[in-house]
């Protein structure tokens, strides 16, 4: 056997060995199997809550698509009669703001002057009051069911007061919060519940069991439509600019 033939045979043998090893690895790979892992479905209440929220979100989306057309119809030219009325707006048409006393637990409706950048009624609950001029307020959501775990169902009947958005809490001045009218009081229990949800959100403290079904379902997917809502409902910049405009 010549040297070249021997070398060729060795190379063929090596190639065959490599092919065998590859096939073995492929076989091993195809046999790789994960053990059966039990998947626990999300609780029914979370599914129901999300479906209800998505219902409201869809209506909101359809409204948004029609808003500019509807708003255009509101913008009619001012007639002579209206101009006359402008100069006759009675001074006592609007009740004075309830500037004092500012107390923890109060539900207040902020005046449009307090938040000039926001064109909808903003109800807030006063959660904490500092000795300095600041207080912590939680706005109410416009929706009737909580969107995320940091939103709490209040159990109230009024349309604007059904859900507290604890993720949207704002530390702001007593002047801004005082530019408002007192609507009602949260009550001791609801105030404690709201504080517990807020603490879960900020200090990662566990949520009491009795509250688990009164908050919204968790976020899980980055493309969840609730993100869009969270961005649109965020009042952070509105409060910041209100603070900046203060004398």
Partner 1 sequence: MADTLQNWIEWKQKCALDACSPETQQALRGFLAEVAYSYGGFDDKSLDPWHELEVYALVPGPRGRKPSKDWLFDYIQREEMRGRDDWMLWSLRQGVWSVMRTVMETHEPWRREGSRPRNVSLNAPEGGHERGEGAALTLQDLLPGHHDTGDEAGSIELQRFAHPIADRLFKQLKRHEKVAMAAACLGVPLSNGVVLDVARREKSVVCGSIKKVEIAINKEASREFPKDDDETKALLGRFVFCNLKVLCCEWAKSEIKCARLFTIRGHREDYDDEC
Q: Which of 3, 68, 221, 244 binds partner 1 (CB under 8 A)?
A: 221
Helix (H) or strand (E) holding 109: strand 106-110
- Select from 182, 191, 66, 209 the least CA-distant residue to 127: 191
Question: Is 29 a binder of partner 1 (CB under 8 A)?
Answer: yes
Binding mask 93-122 for partner 1 (x = CB under 8 A): xxx-------------x-xxx--x--xxx-
Question: Is 234 a binder of partner 1 (CB under 8 A)?
Answer: yes
Question: Is 242 a binder of partner 1 (CB under 8 A)?
Answer: no
Q: Which of 126, 152, 194, 230 binds partner 1 (CB under 8 A)?
A: 230
Question: Is 48 a binder of partner 1 (CB under 8 A)?
Answer: yes
Question: Is 134 a binder of partner 1 (CB under 8 A)?
Answer: no
DSSP 32: -
Q: Is 195 exposed, middle or buried (0-12, 13-18, 19+ CB in 10 A)?
A: middle
Question: Is 139 a binder of partner 1 (CB under 8 A)?
Answer: no
Binding mask 174-203 for partner 1 (x = CB under 8 A): ------xxxxx---------------xxx-
d(CA 122, CA 115): 9
Tokens standing for 149? Answer: 């775990």
DSSP 215: B
At its nearest, how many Å lie between partner 1 and the CB of residue 23?
16
Q: Which of 68, 231, 244, 247 binds partner 1 (CB under 8 A)?
A: 231
Q: Which of 52, 174, 211, 233 binds partner 1 (CB under 8 A)?
A: 52
Please give the residues from 143 up to 172 whose contact with partner 1 meets the rule CB under 8 A: 143-144, 148-150, 158-160, 162, 167
For residue 231, give Cα distances in angstroms to 26, 146, 199, 225.
Answer: 48, 15, 21, 10
Residue 171 near residue 135 (C-beta atoms within 8 A): yes
Question: Is 63 a binder of partner 1 (CB under 8 A)?
Answer: yes
At its nearest, how many Å lie between partner 1 and the CB of residue 81?
5
Question: Is 233 a binder of partner 1 (CB under 8 A)?
Answer: no
Q: Which residues contact 135 (CB under 8 A, 6 or more apart)?
A: 102, 126, 127, 128, 129, 171, 172, 173, 174, 177
**With respect to partner 1, which residue has the nearer C-beta, 122 or 135?**
122
């Amino acid at each position: 056997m010549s040297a070249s033939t021997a070398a060729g045979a060795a190379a063929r043998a090596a190639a065959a060995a490599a092919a065998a090893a590859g096939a073995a690895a492929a076989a091993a790979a195809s046999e790789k199997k994960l053990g059966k892992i039990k998947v626990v479905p999300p609780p029914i209440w979370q599914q129901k809550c999300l479906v209800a929220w998505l219902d409201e979100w869809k209506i909101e989306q359809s409204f948004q698509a029609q808003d500019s057309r509807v708003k255009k119809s509101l913008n009619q030219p001012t007639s002579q009669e209206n101009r006359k009325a402008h100069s006759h707006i009675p001074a006592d048409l609007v009740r004075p703001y309830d500037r004092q006393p500012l107390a923890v637990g109060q539900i207040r409706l902020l005046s449009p002057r307090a938040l000039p950048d926001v064109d909808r009624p903003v109800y807030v609950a006063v959660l904490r009051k500092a000795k300095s001029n600041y207080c912590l307020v939680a706005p109410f959501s416009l929706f009737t069911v909580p969107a995320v775990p940091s939103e709490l169902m209040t159990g109230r009947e009024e349309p604007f007061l059904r859900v507290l958005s604890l993720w949207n809490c704002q530390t702001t001045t007593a002047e801004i919060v005082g530019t408002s009218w007192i609507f009602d009081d949260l009550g001791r229990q609801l105030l404690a519940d709201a504080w517990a949800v807020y603490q879960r959100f900020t200090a990662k403290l566990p949520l009491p069991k009795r509250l688990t079904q009164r908050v919204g379902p968790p976020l899980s997917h980055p493309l969840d439509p609730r993100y869009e809502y969270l961005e649109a409902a965020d009042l952070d910049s509105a409060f910041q600019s209100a603070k900046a405009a203060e004398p």
